[in-house]
Structures are given as structure tokens and as C-alpha cells.
Amino acid sequence: MEMALRFILLFLGAVIVVGIVWDSRRGRLKKRSGEAVVIEPANKNADSEPFFDDVRLIVKEPRVDTEVDPYKVQYPEEIITLNIMARKPAIFTGKKLKNAFADAHLFYGDRQIFHRFDNMDGTGAQLFSVVSSVEPGFFDLSTMDTLETPGITLFFLTSTPNHSVYAFELMLRTAKQLAIRLDGELKDDRHRALTSQIIESYRACIRMQPEELQTMATS
């Protein structure tokens, strides 16, 4: 029974995240066009995360081309996820989640889910997001105080290696903070206990050099 429940939660969580990402990307393609991700040094300020003062990311939407260049390398893009599950037989309540999200500088917004931005005041580039681990995944603020969920999922979509490393490290630190605050268990994308070895495997995958990505994209 326990294994069946874990499988169901894993399946539902993956479907929810993929659905939200796809819906978000489809909306962007309809509404916007622009430039690729640009990384620029930034001045330190009081609202910046202490460990990430040295770099600030300015993310601009990729331009939507009407013609595809067959010689242009399309880097693989992956969804990186972390899960926080309530300790049995407990659940997470919406009221407790709202307080924990506020302390972690997560802001309610697009797609009716919570997001972490580059700056703690909710400005700058959107780095990662948080959804409920079960359907429908999003949060309705009008009924959130009565919400009950067995877990939450933090995720982001990889783009450039440097951007992904930055987002992952902040997401990992936030997930640890939330797990302590909510008294939850930190899990990987397969709902396994998040060990140091798994964390390093995430980092190794995210930090792949462009040459390696090119090999994967053209193989």
C-alpha cells in the first residue's frame, strides 16, 4: 500500500509540474519575443541573498524564430525537481504553507503558484517555483487556509549552465529551510531520500559544459 501511494504521488507530481511548465511556455510563446539569457555582474544591495551577491541574472525571453536554423545547436532542457513530503500520518495545511512560503521569500503569482525571484523583495528574474504535489497543483488563495496536501514540489527549467547552477543552489537551500520549518522529509525527483550523493549528481548534471550539451543534442 505504501509503495502504491508513493508511486501515485510521484506520478501526479511529475504530471502537475510538466503541465504547468508546458502551459507557461505556451503562454510565453503567444505573448512575447526577445533576447536570450544574459548574465551581468551586479552591485551588492541589502535585499540580495548573502551567498549570491556576486552575480545577478537578467533573463529575457528567447526570440521566437519563424525559421529553424538546422545548424544551430538546441541544448537539452530539463525540469529539475525537489519534493518535501509531510511526515506520516501528518499533512501540510495551507495556513502553515503560507507562513513558511513568506519566510522563504516565495511570492504568489503566475499560474496560481508560488515563485522565488532573484531578489528577496520579489523583483528580478524568476528562478524557481513551488506547487502542491497533488492535483490540481496550484494554490487558490481564497481557500488556502483550508488546504491539505501531503507534499509540495519545487522545480525550475534549466536554460544555460550558469543560470541553472544559481537557481539550483538557491532552490536546494530553500527546500532545506522549508523542510525544517514544515517538519517534512526532503526527497529527490523519484521520492528517494535526498542524500549528499544525489545532490552532487544533480550538480554534475546541471554543470555540464556546452561541448557536452552539444554532443547530447546532436547524437
What would the mean pLDDT of 49-67 be, rounded to a whole number? 37
Question: Does the structure show a pLDDT above 80 at 51?
Answer: no
210: containing domain: 2-218
| Total number of domains constituting the chain | 1
Confidence (pTM): 0.67
Q: According to the model, what pLDDT value does residue 88 have?
A: 81
Strands 56-58 and 114-117, by their bridges, are: unpaired
CATH number of the domain that residue 189 is part of: 3.30.1400.10
Three cell numbers written together for 75? 541544448
Q: For residue range 72-83, what is the model confidence (pLDDT) as tens digits?
A: 444 557 899 999
Q: According to the model, what pLDDT value does residue 69 have?
A: 45
Q: For residue range 196-216, what is the model confidence (pLDDT) as tens digits?
A: 999 999 999 888 745 454 445
Whether the CB-CB separation of 164 and 80 falls below 8 Å is answered with yes
d(CA 193, CA 189): 10
Question: Does the structure show a pLDDT above 60 at 140?
Answer: yes
d(CA 184, CA 76): 32
Q: With the CA atoms of 117, 77, 55 and 173 taken in that order, what torsion angle do they form, in degrees rounded to the nearest 10? A: 60
Number of other residues whose CB lies within 10 A of the CB of residue 93: 17
Q: What 3-state class would DSSP assign to 43?
A: coil
Who has greater pLDDT, 23 or 140?
Answer: 140
Q: According to the model, what pLDDT value does residue 163 have?
A: 79
d(CA 153, CA 175): 9
Q: For residue range 99-116, what is the model confidence (pLDDT) as tens digits?
A: 999 999 999 999 999 999
Q: For a pLDDT cut of 70, what percent of the chain falls above it?
A: 59
Q: According to the model, what pLDDT value does residue 72 have?
A: 43
Alpha helices (runs of H) in 39-149, residue ranges in sequence order:
94-103
Q: For residue range 16-28, what is the model confidence (pLDDT) as tens digits?
A: 676 666 455 555 4
